[in-house]
Amino acid sequence: MGRITFRRLEDLEVAGKTVLVRADLNVPMQGGRVTDSTRILRLLPTLQYLVKKKARIVLLSHFDRPGGIFVPSLSLSPLVDAISEALGGRPVQFGVDCVGPAAREAVARLKPGEVLLLENLRFHPEEEKGDVQFARDLASLGDVFVNDAFSCSHRRHASITGIASVLPSAVGRLMEEELHMLQRIFSKTARPVAAIVGGSKISSKLALLENLTSVVDVLVIGGAMANTFLYAEGYDVGKSLVEKSLKNTAKNILARAGKKGCRIVLPVDVVVARSLESQRGNKVVGVDHIPAWGIAADIGPATVKLFCEAVIPCKTAVWNGPMGAFETAPFDSGTIMLARYIALLTGKKQLRSIGGGGDTVAALARAGLEDGFSYLSAAGGAFLEWLEGKELPGVAVLERASRKARSRA
């Protein structure tokens, strides 16, 4: 990866201007409350700079996957208080739509140094389609654009690539830090490299694993992601979260990994539960004994040991996706035990460890292990794609913009 230079916040005229900031406010929430504000706190350097410069700040973000329609439970409105609190009590306005008259009026009311959060971008199907007119409608709300959502920059969505093609653009502080740190860490990657992948976004991440096997030496698969692989190997996974239609993709990954010099490590035991919320009646079973009623909610103790041992010979470990449904104890055990061990190896300078992903970072924060890793990225899927050496569309568009600006200068 060559070093790329981008236009930074300082390179934009922002004083008194309306600045559109694409953020990733897809924070962990439960019952309409923010349960982990890491992503909000990491946005502060950009927000504080813009407040100080007396810019009018318009925050754009998606939340979860409403599928292009208004879903009340996926509104960004509960974030207003959390953002305001992070900004030391500075009031934050809310716009009930991200485009159209409601958005325009909310922006028009904004005074220099004030912050406005607009409603979930994905309530409009045009966002994920990368619709050009929708991007223009968004862009018409502001004078300049700041992308501070590295974690979404692998998506060719209207708010990521579209606005940047229309307005003068720059990278935000968080995205700048992410790119800088990842470039630094991976410019000379110490081998062997282990990738630990878990979580539940199976359909969007499983295909990435195919390429990842060409890049890493060991691929450890846990969490709900592992269920599809266990299913592909012929195991009965009961009522576990599984993507049966991806059976053949999983099979191919397993069959080809060896030829690429990548060892794949799958769970040998799991904690099964009757529901992901229930703490009663759980038990540890071998992966060949998952009962028909069972949901594999976490990796078992033998798997924790196996995964730790797989990391020992490695010099670098990258991790995206929790090993279990960590939001409910005790299904956080596998994730915490593995994280503690990685933190231990990192502390002894035996390992360079990079964690990425909203939920992964939340799980590590829950275990008090934020400082135990060499670096934590807010990005999950984008981080995996970056690792594979893929060009991220959201990064590429800013790069082109910066080249153009330089040649004009």
**Is 315 labeled as catalytic in the residue annotation?**
no
Give the separation between CA 134 and CA 123, rounded to whole angstroms.
Answer: 12
| Partner whose binding site includes residue 322, from ligand ADP, Mg ion, none (CB under 5 to 8 Å by kind) | ligand ADP
CB 358 to Mg ion: min, Å: 4
Q: Compute the chain's Rg from CA coordinates.
A: 22
Q: Which DSSP string do the residues of 329-363 spell out, in sequence order?
A: TTTTHHHHHHHHHHHHHHHTTS-EEEEESHHHHHH
Pick the piece of the chain touching ligand ADP (CB under 6 A) from 106-114, 130-138, 155-163, 317-325: 317-325
Using the rule CB under 6 A, is 300 a contact of ligand ADP?
no
* b/e per residue 180-191 (b: at least 16 CB within 10 A): eebeebbeeeee
Using the rule CB under 6 A, is 334 a contact of ligand ADP?
no
**Is 39 labeled as catalytic in the residue annotation?**
yes
> What are the helix (H) ranges across 118-246?
125-129, 132-139, 163-166, 173-187, 202-215, 223-232
Q: Which of 54, 104, 136, 201 is catalytic?
A: 201
Please tell me whether residue 266 adopts helix, strand or coil conformation. Answer: coil
Query: Using CB under 5 A, which of 142, 358, 372, 381 touches Mg ion?
Result: 358
| Partner whose binding site includes residue 223, from ligand ADP, Mg ion, none (CB under 5 to 8 Å by kind) | ligand ADP
Pick the piece of the chain touching ligand ADP (CB under 6 A) from 153-161, 187-195, 352-360, 386-394: 352-360
Q: Which of 95, 355, 358, 394 is catalytic?
A: 358
Q: Which of 324, 372, 381, 394 is catalytic?
A: 381
Give the separation between CA 297 and CA 281, rounded to whole angstroms.
Answer: 12
Site for ligand ADP in 161-200 (CB under 6 A): 198-200
**Is 201 labeled as catalytic in the residue annotation?**
yes
User: Could you tell me which residues are beta bridge partners of residue 317?
Assistant: 194, 353
Which residue, judged by CB position, is nearest to ligand ADP in the bound state? 357
Longest dimension (CA), the chain: 68
Which residue, judged by CB position, is nearest to Mg ion in the bound state? 359
Give the separation between CA 176 and CA 161, rounded to whole angstroms.
Answer: 17
* Residues binding Mg ion: number (CB under 5 A): 2
Pairing of strands 18-22, 144-147: parallel
Give the separation between CA 176 and CA 169, rounded to whole angstroms.
Answer: 13
Using CB under 6 A as the criterion, what x/- string covers residues 234-273 for binding ligand ADP?
-------x--------------------------------
Binding residues vs Mg ion (CB under 5 A): 358-359
Binding residues vs ligand ADP (CB under 6 A): 198-201, 223-224, 241, 276, 296-297, 320-322, 324-327, 357-360, 380
The residues that are catalytic are 39, 201, 358, 381
